[in-house]
Structure 1
């Protein structure tokens, strides 16, 4: 019976998903892995890549050939979001707050008469 060998990135050993036919769609492979591992699709998704080439399978309709080995990573449902960079003020940005006028040598402008 045809199969695909998978392992989670953090694990040492491969497990096997069996199916009928010459290949399995990425979507079906993910569903079978999630079922075997008792993962909920509402909480996480799976990122699957070819173990030999490192190529990531992204299209749910992509056919994964039988006897392939894949590496699986669990990701948040909805995909991985890019982390936002913290804003670092540069010397050209205005300082936030109440604007104040700065006067040099104010004592010479206000000499009492």
Structure 2
């Protein structure tokens, strides 16, 4: 008996599909995985990728050699559709022609470009960070003292919407 080891991309351990012969077609492998995992074929399609070479098998007639390891991903039944969404970063400064992000083009920004734009627009020395407001969950009201100014050191937001600090800090 020959076998192919498969695992879903979200799992840690491999499972095994056994068959006769030196190889198995992609169609037969998908059919056996769907059967073993009790998946509904109408809900999703399977994307099979070689675990070592990262080659994606796309042709149902493709032959997968025995003792191979593959990664399985469930994708929507209609396949993955390309989106035409464009992400625009708003800036407080005017945009020059050389640093124009996606105002006139329909190409989305890469992650590196998004990070660069974000860091560029957030390196102002004049901008103060927004203080983080903690909630006073779990602290009894009798241990809290109400304050008027939310910028008071140690101020927390109570369930009533008022600010208070622990009496031990006061």
Q: TM-score, normalised by structure 1?
A: 0.75
The alignment yields a C-alpha RMSD, in angstroms, of 1.7
Counterpart Cα distance in 1 of 2:71 and 2:87: 35
1:32 aligns with 2:35: no
**Gap runs ≥5 in structure 1:** 92-113
Q: CA deviation at 1:90?
A: 4.2
1:2-81, aligned counterparts within 5 Å?
2-81=2-81
**What do the CA deviations read for 1:46-97 (whole angstroms, capped 9, x no partner)?**
0000000100000000000000000000000021111221486947xxxxxx
Unaligned runs of 5+ in 2: 89-101, 105-170
- Give the Cα separation in 1 of the matches to 2:2 and 2:87: 51
TM, length-normalised to structure 2: 0.51
Alignment length (residue pairs): 91
